[in-house]
């Protein structure tokens, strides 16, 4: 029997220039991306696509049949980002080409700056999915909500009452410092899992599998630009794909995981803790202290690879209270000014003046008198 044809969902994103500053995306950059992906769809490289943005990040949502990490798909995305960068340069937008760490494509977009989340699966009878996209934060931001969706029965009723979810899920966690991963089974290894997920600046959930059949349930981008470049190049605003219903969390269970505006790294200059605020796409325009960090959620029904959507989920008024809480927390955090824990600990800062200040004051440091 031939294997049923798998469809691949690839979400690849980059900040190629902000309008104004790091606030949002200029429509001409979106047009460049739309045109290029339409050509790719006509040539049958893509089955379907959507171009959108979260704040200053250009998001390419693509479906195709070539599997994950496909060089043609990654090159397509890279070329779109290069073209959009040239447009950003013409318009003198801010930090044009910010996330592109290389001048030439080398086969796989991972490690070159853009963020990438991909998964392949055989489409179910009905295939509802949600693409989460965030700005002014970093990949570890999804650890808490992904744990809630797939591991926490107080969030996801299905873990308790749906026989097809009751066995739980396996979490793939990446150690970004040592570049190695571990798979942990939930609920049996939940406490081990939380040792890692609770330290999101180093350990990041990148894939979740349904335990029963090993089927992929979620995939997140885990690229950390600051580790890749070894210097400040902007935060690596992450994306996450989640399959929902029929053996996976219901749409509302996946969304419920964002009802609590938890603290994430990012915000101003990529160097502060702030609440992650779920918003409608048109409200993903971080302004207050370049924030607070935002997340949007686009729902699609897949129909033989065609993206039927999006439904802009976080526009719903049921998230108003979350947004209000987020702004109360934002206010509270801001009053710490340059103090931790609003400012990130030294090792996590994207900007720092510490070496220069220390060097200048070196001679004035003395052993304390007892
Ligand atoms: P329906 O009965 O409306 O399909 O809802 C099922 C469900 O999963 C709701 O969370
Ligand atoms: P982005 O990572 O979204 O470009 O933001 C960078 C920044 O410095 C915001 O203050
Ligand atoms: Mg930017
Ligand atoms: Mg950004």
**pLDDT tens digits, 47-62:** 999 999 999 999 999 9
Q: Which residues pair with 24 in a beta bridge?
A: 19
Residue 323: which of 258, 368, 248, 251 has the closest Cα? 258
The dihedral sign for the CA sequence 141, 147, 152, 155: positive
211, 172 contact by CB (below 8 A): no
Q: Give residue 50 CA to ligand 2 midpoint distance, Å.
A: 23
As a whole number, mean pLDDT of residues 69-95 equals 97
Find the residues whose C-beta lies inside 6 A of ligand 1. Answer: 245, 250, 252
Lookup: tokens for 91: 């318009």
Ligand 2 lined by 236 (C-beta under 6 Å): no
Report which bound ligand comes closest to the CA of 16. Answer: 3
Q: Give residue 246 CA to ligand 1 midpoint distance, Å.
A: 10
User: What pLDDT sits at residue 356?
Assistant: 86
Instruction: Kindly report whether the global pTM for this prediction surpasses the value 0.75.
Output: yes
As a whole number, mean pLDDT of residues 265-271 equals 94
Q: Give residue 22 CA to ligand 2 midpoint distance, Å.
A: 6
* pLDDT higher than 80, residue 347: no
**pLDDT tens digits, 204-231:** 999 999 997 889 999 999 877 667 666 6
Active-site pick, 235, 236, 237, 290: 235
Q: Which residues pair with 266 in a beta bridge?
A: 272
Lookup: tokens for 82: 């290069």
Dihedral pair phi/psi, residue 119, rounded to 5°: -155, 150
Active-site pick, 75, 110, 232, 283: 232
As a whole number, mean pLDDT of residues 103-132 equals 93
Ligand 2 lined by 237 (C-beta under 6 Å): yes
As a whole number, mean pLDDT of residues 113-136 equals 97
| Residue nearest to ligand 2 atom 3, measured at CA | 136
């Amino acid at each position: 029997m031939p294997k049923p044809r798998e469809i691949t969902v690839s979400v690849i994103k980059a900040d190629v220039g902000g309008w104004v500053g790091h606030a949002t995306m200029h429509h001409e950059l979106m047009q460049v991306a739309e045109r290029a992906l339409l050509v790719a769809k006509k040539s049958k490289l893509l089955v379907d696509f959507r171009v959108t943005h979260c704040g200053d990040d250009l998001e390419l949502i693509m479906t195709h049949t070539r599997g994950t990490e496909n060089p043609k798909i990654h090159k397509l995305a890279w070329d779109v980002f290069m073209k959009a960068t040239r447009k950003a340069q013409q318009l003198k937008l801010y930090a044009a080409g910010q996330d592109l760490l290389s001048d030439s494509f080398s086969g796989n977009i991972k490690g070159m700056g853009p963020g990438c989340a991909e998964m392949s699966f055989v489409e179910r009878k009905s295939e509802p999915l949600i693409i989460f996209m965030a700005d002014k934060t970093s990949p570890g931001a999804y650890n808490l909500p992904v744990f809630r969706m797939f591991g926490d029965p107080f969030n996801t009723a299905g873990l308790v009452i749906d026989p097809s979810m009751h066995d739980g899920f396996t979490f793939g966690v990446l150690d970004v410092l040592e570049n190695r991963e571990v798979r942990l089974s939930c609920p049996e290894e939940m406490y081990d899992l939380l040792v890692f997920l609770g330290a999101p600046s180093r350990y990041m959930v990148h894939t979740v599998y349904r335990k029963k059949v090993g089927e992929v349930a979620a995939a997140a981008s885990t690229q950390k630009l600051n580790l890749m470049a070894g210097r400040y190049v902007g935060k690596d605003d992450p994306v996450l794909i989640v399959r929902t219903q029929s053996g996976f969390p219901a749409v509302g269970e996946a969304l419920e995981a964002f009802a609590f505006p938890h603290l994430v790294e990012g915000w101003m200059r990529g160097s502060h803790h702030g609440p992650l605020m779920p918003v409608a796409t048109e409200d993903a325009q971080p302004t207050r202290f370049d924030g607070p960090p935002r997340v949007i959620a686009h729902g699609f029904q897949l129909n033989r690879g065609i993206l039927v959507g999006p439904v802009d989920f976080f526009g719903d008024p049921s998230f108003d209270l979350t947004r209000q809480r987020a702004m109360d927390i934002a206010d509270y955090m801001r009053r710490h000014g340059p103090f931790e824990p609003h400012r990130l600990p030294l090792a996590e800062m994207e900007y720092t003046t510490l070496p220069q200040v220390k060097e200048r004051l070196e001679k004035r440091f003395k052993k304390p008198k007892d």
